[in-house]
């Protein structure tokens, strides 16, 4: 999660909402990204989506079986859906997101029968650091 938080800080430095994600396979980081919708002019460019796309390219496989995704904030519906499509084995997220999350809030994407793959989900690791990064970012922009 330290690596994902580092990505989040890099995002903030680039003027993007500070959310970072890394994908790990067999103990090795194979992809890392931060939110970048502004820089890329791409509304889908959340950290998780960019990391999933990079990992699939790295592995030469659209299915990321056996991979872990570490992200600093609870995924939104778009990212939770992508995690299911990619067959991510384990999802770790630092801070919960009552305003936009879709794992334990709102759409609860993994809890419907329409969801064809559910990762194991672990939460809270690095929570306060991740939440502070977001709070400081939005406070500075007001």
- Given a contact cutoff of 8 angstroms between Cβ atoms, the answer to whether 63 and 84 are in contact is no
**Alpha-carbon distance 130 to 93, whole Å?**
9
Instruction: Report whether 115 belongs to an annotated binding site.
Output: no
Among 2, 44, 128, 132, binds a second copy (CB under 8 A): 44
Of the candidates 99, 96, 82, the one whose C-alpha atom is nearest the C-alpha of residue 48 is 82
Instruction: Report whether 76 belongs to an annotated binding site.
Output: yes
Between 5 and 24, CB nearer to a second copy: 24
Q: In the stretch 1-40, what mask flags binding to a second copy with x, by CB under 8 A? A: ------------------------------------xx-x
Catalytic option among 16, 48, 68, 74: 48
Question: Using the rule CB under 8 A, is 67 a contact of a second copy?
Answer: no
Place of tokens 């990212």: 79
Positive/negative CA dihedral, 13, 1, 125, 107 = positive
Q: Which of the stretches 5-13, 26-34, 71-79, 128-136 binds a second copy when contact is defined by CB under 8 A?
A: 71-79
Of the candidates 117, 39, 36, 128, the one whose C-alpha atom is nearest the C-alpha of residue 80 is 117
Positive/negative CA dihedral, 25, 31, 37, 43 = negative
- Given a contact cutoff of 8 angstroms between Cβ atoms, the answer to whether 69 and 83 are in contact is yes
- Provide the binding-site residues for a second copy, judged by CB under 8 A: 37-38, 40-45, 49, 52-53, 56-57, 60-64, 76-82, 84-87, 98-102, 105-109, 112-116
Catalytic residues: 48
Binding-site residue ranges: 46, 76, 79
Binding-site residue ranges for Zn(2+): 46, 76, 79
């Amino acid at each position: 999660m330290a690596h994902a938080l580092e990505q989040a800080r890099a995002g903030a430095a680039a003027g993007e909402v500070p959310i970072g994600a890394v994908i790990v396979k067999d103990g090795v980081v194979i992809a890392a990204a931060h939110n970048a919708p502004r820089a890329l002019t791409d509304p889908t460019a959340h950290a998780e989506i960019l990391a999933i796309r990079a990992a699939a390219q790295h592995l030469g496989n659209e299915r990321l079986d056996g991979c872990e995704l570490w992200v600093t904030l609870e995924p939104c519906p778009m990212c939770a859906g992508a995690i299911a499509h990619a067959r991510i084995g384990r999802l770790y997220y630092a801070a919960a997101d009552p305003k936009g999350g879709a794992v334990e809030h709102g759409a609860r994407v993994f809890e419907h029968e329409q969801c064809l793959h559910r990762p194991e989900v672990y939460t809270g690791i690095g929570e306060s650091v991740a939440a502070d990064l977001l709070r400081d970012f939005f406070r500075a922009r007001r």
